Every structure is written in structure tokens, then in C-alpha cells.
Amino acid sequence: MLNLGKHKNTVFSPLKKGAYLVSNDGAVFGGEGSAGDSGVGLFGAVTVQPKGANFYRAQLTEEEMRLATKGVTRTGQPIIDYEATYPDDCKTQGVWCQEGKAGKPILNMVFNRRIMHGDINALIIGPGGDGRFPLETYPLESQGKQNPTVPTRLEPFREFVSIFHDENAVTQAFPYFFEHQELSHTLHGVRDGFMINYGSGGVGAEIIANRLKAGPMQDCIDCAYEEFFLSSFAVGDAAMLVDNPANLVISQCQPEYLTDPNYAKEKKEFCEQPKEQRATQAYYPHDPANVHHSYIGDFVKFRNLHAGKEQHIFHLHNHQWLFNANDDNSNYIDAQGIGPGSGYTYEIAFGGSGNRNKTVGDAIFHCHFYPHFAQGMWYMWRNHDVFEGGTRLNVSETPDGFHQNKFGLQYGQPALKSRALPDGEIVAGTPIPAIVPLPGKAMAVMPARWKCKHAQWITSIMVLSPMWWNRIKILAIHSGLLV
């Protein structure tokens, strides 16, 4: 314990590789289940890497990726300088100097023996010329053997840190619904209460937003209940920070306003989201949401920690790992029970990202207790099959191609004609982070260029088979456009 205004230096001396929770032993009492201050987010993590490892950021903005590029390959992929630094523009009081970054590393997390960047997404690179680790790093490899389930273990790897925390002290998006004397019991089990890395996506707020025609799901005609709340296509990426939250006005809506004609004025004022108050951009484009990113074939390690008080089960889709990667007879699993204060490492089997089938797209992971992930404890792992150099931003549309205002890169509005993710509310889309490739591996192909042709509105489709009529009619009405 320290008195107010005091500080001290703490040296961690862990005995072995892995994930370790950092919390305040002076605040272990109080809160639900004696969880102390974990409900308000007072915790951290220390991950211990193999001997000789170097640590680098794994996700950047498009500007930072350009700064870290020293050339391009014949097929267009950037050649990365992992030791690149921000421009030293202090003589002219440039934007990098104003932000305190001038001359400091863009990717390397360590600068002058001090941690420069802390990140939940990292590249862990070995001391070898191609980023590989020496044989003595792992028990089997040190004996000249190899576990066939983890054939890429000596390669550099991508690390995802995922901290579970629960029963959080948060305000609900629609408090008059969640605190309603008749609805509170029903909605308690679908509130935003369980989190991963400070982000939550409970089903309750998403259903209410759909009914109030607000947010990304505002015009989704078949978003009923649980079938849509885990889909980025319908609700946007989980826990994304935007300029105008969907509940900016309609958080004041009360259930009675919707059904009682005596509240017609209040319904119009508080239960209808004005179009001018809809979100126009996401914030922090290098990591705007609860999504981990990797390229197909990347060796991936999850560092999973538990800062809360409940019991949880980490469950990952489309991928598996061995309980003990040093034993090829170990249990082959996709779920792990995790208790308060504990930490696990999951070394994804068979080449990592995409698994044996090289599956592209989103692989969800969540707590396998249904009430927990219904209350927001879920996250996405996005497996990319093309190179992602990052979405060029509107703030970069300047004569020199870089933002001019201090901390301007927090604003994620894509520039015109930039490649971005579609969003049900944000017209320009949301930014794709620049995903730094692992060294020593073949790089993903460059994305193809495309353009939309003139779209023709359709009203109906004639088909010969009556059994398909309703399905096609619904599809036509839902999509609306044929390209």
C-alpha cells in the first residue's frame, strides 16, 4: 500500500514463461465476492517470453505502416523495417514531436531498456536472423524432437492477451429499460456486465437498439434475438468506440413511452434516434474494437488471464490446442476452465491462424457459460488471407500524406475510396488496422482492386420452384439491390 502521491518501482522476477495477472493486494476486499477493485478495471498483465525474444507491435495505423516501410516487393507487399522510428521533427515542432514520439520506435516495444509500447497484440520474435527461436527454447526441440501437432513452434509468433473480468461497475446503454421495475429481472441476464479487455457486447442492448431503430442494426428486419448479436455483419465489431454512440439521445427512452399514447411527445423526443446524431466514424483505428487480427498460417499464442471473481470457460471456435504443447499425447482441446487470478497459454495447433483448413474470417471466442457471453464476454479473432496495410484515413489527406493535428490518428474516418470494413451505420465504413507481418514467413497476397457498378433496384424474382419462392423473395427484399 502507498500513501496518496507516493510511488515505487516494482521488479517482476517470474520463474517461467507465461501470463501473469497484476492486481493490487491492498484492494482484495470489497466488491462482489471480495473481488476488490477488479470491477472498475484496476488490473494489468505481464507476459513472460522465451529467452532472447524481442517484442514488437502487431497492429498499426496506415500512416505508421508507411513510416515503417523501406521498400516493396515485386508483388506490392511492403518490406518492413522492424526498427523504424518516428520522424524527428522537433526542430519545426512537428506533429510527431508534439505527440512525444519523435525519434522513438514505431514497432519495437522497448526503447533504451524501457517499455515504450504496451499492447495486447504483439509480435514475439526470436534472436535468429529470420526471427526463429533456438532449439533450447522448448523441451522437445532441445532434444532434437518435434511435436507434430505444433510443427511451427520455433517460429516467431503472434501473441494475443485476453483478460476476462466480470460483474463490472458499468452504466447500461438503456438504463430506463435495465432498471425498470418490471423488466429489470428479465434484462439482468443480458446486460453489459461481463467483459474481455474492457469491452462488452451484451445481447440486451443490441436487441433494444434494433427495436428503437438505432445503431448499426437500426434497419435489420430479421435481427430478432440471439441469432444476430454475435455477428459483426449485423452489429458492427464488438466494443467499437465511435463518435456518436447509439444511445446518445435514446438512453432517456422509457418503456412506457413506446406503448402509452399519452407519451407520444416523449416517444418522439427520446425514443427516436435523429439521423444527424448517428455515428460517422470509429476511434483509434489501429485497434478500434474487440478483434484480434492475424494472417493465415501465423503461429499464434493466446495469453488468457482472469481478473474477476466468477469461474469461466475460454472457448475458441475453428481452432484447437494441446493442454501441454510439450506432450503429443496431451488433451487436444478448444475449451479451458479458468478461475480467478489464473493464467493460461494456448499455443494454437497445426500452424496457428486458420488451423489445418486455413479457414479465413472471424473465429469467435467467449466464455462457454451462456449467461456470461450473453452479458458480453465474447471477442473475435479475424484471420486474414490478404495483406492489410491499414485503411487510409481522412486525416491523412494532406499535402505530405500525414496528419497535421496533434493525436489526429485517433480519428478513424476512412479517406475517400479507401478500403474499409462495411458498417450498418457508418457510411464510410470502419478502419482496418495495418497488420504487421511476422518475419521469415511468406506474406499474404495484396488485395484486389474493385469498384461498384450501377446498382438496379429489384422488386420481385420469378422462379419455377415454388418451394424456393418465399426464401428468394425474403432475400430480395432484404438485400434490395443487385449489382
pLDDT digits (tens, 9 = 90+) for 115-133: 889 889 999 999 988 999 9
As to burial, measured by CB atoms within 10 angstroms (0-12 exposed, 13-18 middle, 19+ buried), residue 175 is middle
pLDDT of 479 reads 43
**Position 456 confidence tier, pLDDT thresholds 50, 70, 90:** low
Spatial separation of the C-alpha atoms in residues 193 and 378, rounded to whole Å: 12
Instruction: List Cα–Cα distances, 52 to 82, 126, 155, 421, in angstroms.
Output: 16, 6, 13, 37
Looking at per-residue pLDDT, the higher value among 26 and 33 belongs to 26
pLDDT of 35 reads 64
Stretch 429-449: mean pLDDT: 94
pLDDT of 451 reads 72
CB neighbours of residue 415 within 10 Å: 16
**Position 450 confidence tier, pLDDT thresholds 50, 70, 90:** confident
- Whether the pLDDT of residue 258 is over 80: the answer is yes
pLDDT of 133 reads 96
Looking at per-residue pLDDT, the higher value among 227 and 399 belongs to 399
Instruction: List Cα–Cα distances, 245 to 220, 276, 373, in angstroms.
Output: 18, 12, 22
Stretch 51-72: mean pLDDT: 96
In sequence order, the β-bridge partners of residue 338 are 312
Radius of gyration from C-alpha coordinates of the chain = 24
pLDDT of 472 reads 44
Q: How many CA atoms lie within 13 A of 88 on its CB side?
A: 5
**Position 195 confidence tier, pLDDT thresholds 50, 70, 90:** very high
pLDDT of 477 reads 44
pLDDT of 11 reads 78
> Average pLDDT over the chain, rounded to whole?
89
Core vs surface per residue 34-62: b (16+ CB within 10 A) or e: ebbbbbeeebebebbbbeebbbbbbbbbb
Spatial separation of the C-alpha atoms in residues 136 and 141, rounded to whole Å: 7
Whether 301 and 328 have beta carbons less than 8 Å apart is answered as: no
Please give the domain boundaries of the chain with CATH numbers for all domains. Answer: 18-165+287-384 (2.60.40.420), 175-277 (no CATH), 454-483 (no CATH)
Whether 246 and 217 have beta carbons less than 8 Å apart is answered as: no
**Position 476 confidence tier, pLDDT thresholds 50, 70, 90:** very low
Residues 95-120: tens digit of each pLDDT: 999 999 999 999 999 998 888 898 89
As to burial, measured by CB atoms within 10 angstroms (0-12 exposed, 13-18 middle, 19+ buried), residue 30 is exposed
pLDDT of 7 reads 86
pLDDT of 38 reads 72
- Whether the pLDDT of residue 33 is over 70: the answer is no
pLDDT of 374 reads 93
Instruction: List Cα–Cα distances, 261 to 70, 181, 211, 268, in angstroms.
Output: 65, 20, 18, 11
pLDDT of 42 reads 80
Looking at per-residue pLDDT, the higher value among 430 and 22 belongs to 430
In sequence order, the β-bridge partners of residue 306 are 164
Stretch 182-190: mean pLDDT: 92
Stretch 362-370: mean pLDDT: 94
Percent of the chain with pLDDT over 70: 90
**Position 353 confidence tier, pLDDT thresholds 50, 70, 90:** very high
Stretch 221-236: mean pLDDT: 88
- Whether the pLDDT of residue 455 is over 80: the answer is no
- pTM for this model (two decimals): 0.89
Spatial separation of the C-alpha atoms in residues 307 and 42, rounded to whole Å: 9
**Position 3 confidence tier, pLDDT thresholds 50, 70, 90:** confident
434-435/332-333 β-pairing: unpaired
Percent of the chain with pLDDT over 90: 72
**Position 275 confidence tier, pLDDT thresholds 50, 70, 90:** confident
Spatial separation of the C-alpha atoms in residues 291 and 413, rounded to whole Å: 18
CB neighbours of residue 253 within 10 Å: 24
